[in-house]
Amino acid sequence: METKILEVLKKVLPSKTHIIVTEWKSFYGGKFIKIMFAPSSIELHRVSEQFPQVVSLILDMETMELKPQIFGGMGGQSIYRKPNRAVSNEMYLAMKSVKIPFRTPKKEETKVLECIERFAKNWLEALKENKDVLMYQEVVNYDEYLGS
């Protein structure tokens, strides 16, 4: 399953994307697949041991349940942009999150793979829509990454 997920992500995402797809075991037993991707490489762009704009999913191999997941403070379902100081409820924020759309798929392999592909496309679209106001501009060249 890891190979199929990796193939889907490599088909949809730009070649400069840092992709992690690994199997791991839960403390309580059970196998999971950790899926993470970010617009930078681990060697070139590391910010406090984290990947800028990383998103992540987790797949329970026993139940085939796919959901957004945060791994040690990294990932999840959001990317971060600079706040708009002209809007009163963003005036004092350090950053503002942009949530990536995600709908839990049926617990079938094909539906899970389609959902992963759709999530990756939605993430890319969110990066494109917000590229001028995204956080970590000094670390990631979004124009180069998105091919603009």
Q: Which residues contact 36 (CB under 8 A, 6 or more apart)?
A: 19, 20, 21, 51, 54, 55, 56, 57, 71, 74, 75
Q: What is the mean pLDDT of the chain?
A: 88
pLDDT range class, residue 46, cuts 50, 70, 90: low
* DSSP structural state of residue 37: E
pLDDT digits 0-9 by tens, 51-60: 788 999 999 9
Percentage of the chain with pLDDT > 70?
Answer: 93
Q: Is the pLDDT score of 49 beyond 80? A: no
pLDDT digits 0-9 by tens, 2-30: 999 999 999 999 998 989 999 988 788 88
Residue 136: per-residue pLDDT: 84
Both tokens of 90, joined, read 């963003």
What is the torsion angle, in degrees rounded to the nearest 10, for the CA atoms of residue 34, residue 40, residue 45 and residue 48?
A: -40
- Closest to 145 (Cα-Cα) out of 71, 48, 51, 70: 51
What does 60-129 look like in DSSP terms, one character per residue?
ETTTTEEEE-EETTEESSEEEE---TTSGGGTT-S-EEEEPP--PPPSSHHHHHHHHHHHHHHHHHHHHH
Q: What is the mean pLDDT of residues 86-92?
A: 90
pLDDT digits 0-9 by tens, 109-135: 999 999 999 999 999 999 999 999 998
Distance from C-alpha of 58 to C-alpha of 39, rounded to nearest angstrom: 19
Residue 75: per-residue pLDDT: 83
